Amino acid sequence: MSNTTLFTNGRFFTGDASASSFHSCMVVQDGKIAYIGSDSTPEFQDFQKEDNVTVQDLQDTYVLPGFIDAHCHFLMLGNSLTKVDLNGCKDLEEIRSRIKNYATLHPEKKRIMCQGWMHSMTDGQARVDMIDDLDPRPIYIDAKDLHSTWCNSAALAEMGVQDMQDPAGGTIERDAEGKASGLLSESCVMLLVWPHLAKVATKQEKVAALAAAMQAYHKVGYTGCVDMAMDENAWAALLAFREEMGGSLPIRLAAHWLVSPGSGPEDRLQQVDRAIELSTQFNKNTSPDLRIAGIKLICDGIIDSCTAALVEPYTHNTSNSDPIWTPEMLDPVVKKAANAGLQCALHAIGDQAVHNAINVLSQHGRPNQRHRIEHLELTRPEDAARLGKLGITASINPVHADPAILCAWPKLLGPARLKRAFAYKEFADHGAVLAIGSDAPTAPHAPIQNMYVATTRRSARQPDAGDEPVNEEFKIGIAEAVVAATRGAAWSCFDEERIGSLRVGLRADFVSVEMRFEAEGLLGAKVRGTWVEGRKVFEG
């Protein structure tokens, strides 16, 4: 006997922004959508006559497909929920105060973990002597973008950093005497900091962090995500978490295996081999809700720390930054992954890195492989036009386009280049599929606020600050934003025939939202419920 629920009195999203194009009801049977449309049709009335039918009144809320975070770091998000939050700190004094207060309140912690620091809060300085007197325990401070970690002396000591050489693509900042001075940048984070912290964390701590991340996601309407820096530690934790949850997870996760620059060409190809090996075990057929979709390469850094690779030098000091992955390094890795049927996801923020990424994907990728470029913050017009032609997914994070966090960009890029920032509408107009992600925990993970920035180019963080919209001509419409955060994200990992839309035959993953269906109404929206396969996983 089938399990049937009639969801009535809702405004069910069809994919069209027209006020008249919302359906009025939906029928879910055994976790799948069996009907969606009007509640006055004979077909719907037949469902009403069945035995054991449950009716749920959605109270005139908008019903959207479950959001899918197209770019996140799931375990790191869970970990971040228990860290000292430095977001919004104005200066070093406030940073020190928050850390000191936390340390006093938590004598049981072996380490003091912090997140949300930005270089601008401390005038670009990050030294051990600025925090060593706060507590004798190791202190780790994640930069908001996760591209650097500020450590105290105890943290550097427990990682053994003093005797290390700079890893490929990374920098251990040192003082005049050659001693590590506190800041570990770029690949140091993924090669030194993350593995060390993974080693000292218990299995229970990791599983608890994943549970916290999942609850946080359900609360804001996510039913799926694409993890963009998967490694052995996080993968083992996810498998343990799934086992603890009884063999299945109420969230759908596709992952891209992080390939680091490593020790050389052979090392890089061995990392691809590991991704290929795992993808044969965990794929759409064998493990559709916890699988390896492809590889991830971090081609450059970020603009705020002047580590993004640009075509022309930074305006303020006429210097530039080399890509972390040069074209010569990219070529064999992308070729091997693409030939094995893996999707390649290339982090590229600066216009030079974007150009390099498009070039290598055009050479070795095929349009039906749905390779993707992450972030795409600064692009030249000719490269923006190439994405759609080559079938490359534009994996974007509107939350990073928030005017409140772009204070340094005019000085770093100059006015002409600033006009090319976050060219989302241009990508779409040239035929690229947009997939919206949050990049959590580098930024707030809530999808509706993310869509607000995409559709208005105004600040969701400081909506009353009066900041000018950032390149308003590149904004997208509200229906486009919803699609990019649902079907576009599902399409980006070959899952659009299963999830991402409210269509008959698809899984009943959806979210009920009290809102005005217009860009300006998004900040006031409230998630009232989240369902995965017709089962309610969050009630607002």
pLDDT tens figures, 42-67? 999 999 998 889 999 999 999 999 99
Domain boundary residue among 178, 200, 222?
200
Q: Cα-flanking dihedrals φ and ψ of residue 299, to 5°?
A: -75, -30
Residues 35, 43 contacting (CB under 8 angstroms): yes
Q: Which range is least confidently modeled, 162-171, 240-249, 264-273, 284-293?
A: 162-171
Query: Is residue 1 predicted with pLDDT exceeding 70?
Result: no
pTM score, two decimals?
0.92
Query: Is residue 35 predicted with pLDDT exceeding 70?
Result: yes
Domain range spanning residue 91?
82-200
Residue 43 covered by a domain: yes
pLDDT in tens, 431-440: 999 999 999 9
Q: Residue 31, SS3? A: coil
Query: Looking at this protein, which amino acid is placed at residue 495?
Result: D
**Same domain, yes or no: 47 and 143:** no
Cα–Cα distance measured from residue 334 to residue 369, given in angstroms and rounded to the nearest whole number: 12
**Same domain, yes or no: 137 and 192:** yes
**Same domain, yes or no: 53 and 137:** no
Share of the chain above pLDDT 70, in %: 99
Structure tokens, 444: 């707030």
Domain boundary residue among 200, 220, 248?
200
**Same domain, yes or no: 91 and 163:** yes
Q: Residue 33 sits in a domain of what CATH number?
A: 2.30.40.10
**Same domain, yes or no: 94 and 50:** no
Question: Can you give the pLDDT at residue 51?
Answer: 86
Residue 409 covered by a domain: no
pLDDT in tens, 78-109: 999 989 999 999 999 999 999 999 999 999 99
**Same domain, yes or no: 176 and 110:** yes
Distances (CA, A) of 114 to 79, 84, 405: 10, 4, 19
Residues 349, 302 contacting (CB under 8 angstroms): yes
Query: Is residue 2 predicted with pLDDT exceeding 80?
Result: no
Residue 4 covered by a domain: yes
Name residues whose C-beta falls within 8 Å of residue 387's C-beta, 6 or more positions apart in sequence: 358, 373, 376, 394, 427, 430, 431, 432
Domain boundary residue among 159, 183, 200?
200
Give bridge partners of residue 295 from the DSSP assignment. Answer: 257, 344
Cα–Cα distance measured from residue 444 to residue 401, given in angstroms and rounded to the nearest whole number: 12
Residue 353 covered by a domain: no
**Same domain, yes or no: 88 and 181:** yes
Residues 377, 394 contacting (CB under 8 angstroms): no
Which among 533, 506, 507, 499 has a CA at the least distance from the CA of 67? Answer: 499
Residue 374 covered by a domain: no
Residue 7 covered by a domain: yes
**Same domain, yes or no: 103 and 164:** yes
Name residues whose C-beta falls within 8 Å of residue 269's C-beta, 6 or more positions apart in sequence: 332, 333, 336
Q: Which range is least confidently modeled, 184-198, 232-246, 268-282?
A: 184-198
The total of structural domains in the chain comes to: 2
**Same domain, yes or no: 105 and 44:** no
Q: With bands split at pLDDT 50, 70 and 90, how would you rate the model's confidence at 168?
A: confident
**Same domain, yes or no: 106 and 173:** yes
Distances (CA, A) of 385 to 432, 436, 477: 8, 19, 20
Q: Residue 127 sits in a domain of what CATH number?
A: 3.10.310.70
Q: With bands split at pLDDT 50, 70 and 90, how would you rate the model's confidence at 16?
A: confident
Residue 320 covered by a domain: no
